[in-house]
Each structure stands twice: as structure tokens, then as C-alpha cells.
Structure 1
């Protein structure tokens, strides 16, 4: 069965609205030529294109698994865009981010998820915990949940810290089979009582073909930084192989998550 890649729109950034200073890489709210607002992640920020790659792959995997993620778009930043920006730090960031960046649809009026206020059932909690184990997402803790409540539904945001191995590219075979030790700090781990059921379902969804289709949308221009790969195709394939291997051995991270949960409950 042929699985088509996700269809991501490309928008032109027309107005810088305000920085989101909660983020260390200075993301911003911007307006685009379709008149929508977006949370823009800049390729010129501290983690560079790798954070955009993580955001893209993780977000589209989550969407494929049926989880709610705001629309992801490619956002083009014109070279003249930052000339009128009075803040020098932001102006430098805009200048370093000319070309193709990544943005997610801004959920106006959304509120930050609070585990003490917002209830999450065991199935949804297990789905999100499984996802974060797969993508090695260290950033879904009680201190920083990276989840929003919007129209009484739970939405996942900010996956730029996932796939942390790609900052040094250690042995990928070994990395793919490692349990995810940081899952012990996950905000939803206490509720994640259906990990085995979710594991069986999600392994069926994330076929090698679907993984290949998702990873194929990474732009070539994001795959030119420091890496051990000679070509963009080889760079892309490293993510594909990591994910295929990790899904195939998911019982390792599932058992580790279950063990960490028992220590909590």
C-alpha cells in the first residue's frame, strides 16, 4: 500500500507580531499571507534546523497516530523582513533565519494544560507517553507540559527537544533500542495504564512506509549542517532507520515506562 507524505502548506511571513519569550530560542507569533497567526520556530535560533526537523517529524507522527497537533506549515522569511525590527537581538535572529522556517497554527485562546485541573483518561495518557518514548521527548514534564487545552480538547505542541541524539549522532542502532529513562518525569505517566494496548495499535500504524513518507518531507536545506552524512538523502534515511528500529523494539521502552509508572503509583 502506497502512503503519501503529509501535505504541508508553505506560507509567506508578512508581519512579526510578538516574541514568545517563554522559549529559549525566541519563537514568535507572526502573521502570514493567508491572514492566519502562527507560532514560528526560527532556523537561526540556538538549536538551528535540528529543532525544526524534530518539530516536523514528531508533530506529523503524532498526527498520524490520531493525536491533536496544530497544523504545521513551512514559513518563508524574506531577506528584507527584519530590517524594520528595532530589537537588535530579534533582528539578528531574523537575518539568520532567511528562507524556509517552520510554524504551527496559533491556537488563539488556548490555555496551558494543568494536571491538577485537567483530567486525562488512561488511553490518551498512554498514547502520549508512548509517543514521547518513541521520539525521546524530554519536554513534557509537570514544570513544562507542552500541552494546551483548546475548545475542551488536549493539543500537543513544542517537540523541538525530541530526537536529542541528533545533536551528536551516536550509534543509532544502540540508541534505537534504549529505554527512555526520562519518562519517569512525564506529566501523564501516572495515568498511562494502557501502554501495552496502545503499543500494539501504534506499531501497526507506524509502518516503515508511513515513517518513510513522514520523514521525506524534511526540506533539503535543513539537512546541510554538521552531520556525519554526505548527502541529504543519507541524513534523512538516518531518521527513518532510527524510527523503524525503535518501533520494532518498542517493548523495551514500554516496559521501562511501566516500571517507572509502578514506582509512582
Structure 2
């Protein structure tokens, strides 16, 4: 028991009794009480009810056990949007915003874009929200993930087609796109990071291909040309040390202008190329 019945908002936020950063404690308190940041200031003398204290103590215990705060409060900001997340999907990360920024650069006006392995729908929703002229399709093999993506599309007032698909399997032969983007599972099987931090709680099949980390990327590179318009681009996020290997996969499939782009940490995070005209 960290906090007790009758304690005020101000007393809880005074700190010192629990080994959590002040920001995280404030987020958990807001979630437990349904108070906004402003309300926690204007109602600082408000005493918490019994059920609110119980929720807060439970949230704090789970956070101290390592559970991601995004799962605890059920949301995460991505590209300026508030997205629902739960353990069925990966937690959107800031470095993935690079993929959205590049999509804005290479997607023509009124263009058709395909997001493969959409998860929470973060990339597809961000593209559709930023470019309402775009025609967006998003795929995922997980029905639970598609349910999350569907709710995020609705909550952010965007329209997109959602399909359950094992990579390209649900697409018709004549489905063509001006841009294909993907943040596929790329962590190597057995990587120590899978048992550390937030990754312990995220869906393992969305993190690793259970192989060398490149199998999903190979599949996408191999089949993307059949679903890209001439001069259409393929852009893929990958691991910190995989850029050279992904560029070679693209070159082997005949892509042109193959290159990699660095995230804000200076890491080559996205690689891509253009389908030739012939």
C-alpha cells in the first residue's frame, strides 16, 4: 500500500514515498482519478476516494514491476496524435515518426499508400490525418491489433481500409500503391533486449521474426514490386545495425535510388527504394 484513503492530490504528488518519476506518478494519478493536469492543480486539496486509491496503488505497483506506462494508461502520443494502445500492439516510438515524415515526402497528391503490419495503426493513422487526400490501406495478421487500429482511426477522424492479412496474402493481384511502408518485426531471435524493459510486455510476434531479424523484410522486398506503381516507393523501418543488409535486399529486387535515413539519434533507421519504370 503506497497511498491511503483520504489523501489529497497535493499530498500524493509531494513525492518521496514511491520510487517513480514525478511525471509518471502524475500520469498514473490522472488516470486513476480521471483528473486532467489542470484539474490536479485547481483541485489539489481534493481527497481521493477509496476506489481511486485502490486503482492508483494497483497502477503504481504494476509500473514498479516494469509494466509500460502506455499500457497502464492505455494511450500514447505519436506524431501529435493520441493513440489507444494495449498489450495486443507495440507501443509507438518516436523514431518511427521518421517513417511518417518520409511518407509525406514520397507520397504523391491523392496517392495510395499501404501500411504493412499496422499494429496500433500509428503510421497509417498519422499519414491519413496529415494527408487527408491520401487513400490509405493498412494490413495486420492480428485481429486484435486491427481492432486497436480501427478505434484509433475512428477516434482521430480518419478513413482507411483495414484488412486482416499475412503480409500480402489478402491483396488482390491488381492492388497497386504509390507507396508501401512497414515497421515489421526485425529483432533477431534470442536477442537479450526481448527480456528487458518494455519489450517484456509487448507482443513478441510484432518484435521478432523468430529468426535472423530479416525474414519479414525479405518477404516485403520480394513481393512489394508486384503491388507498387511504377516509380512507387517502398520504405521500411529496421534495426540499428541492419541498414546495409536491407539496402542489399532492395538492390537484389531491382529497386532504384536505394538509400537509408537516420533518426534523431543519428541511427540509420529507415531504408527504401523506388520501383523502376520498367
* TM-score, length of structure 1 as denominator length: 0.30
TM-score with structure 2 length normalisation? 0.29
Higher relative contact order (CA 8 A, sep 6+): 1
Which is greater in Rg? 2
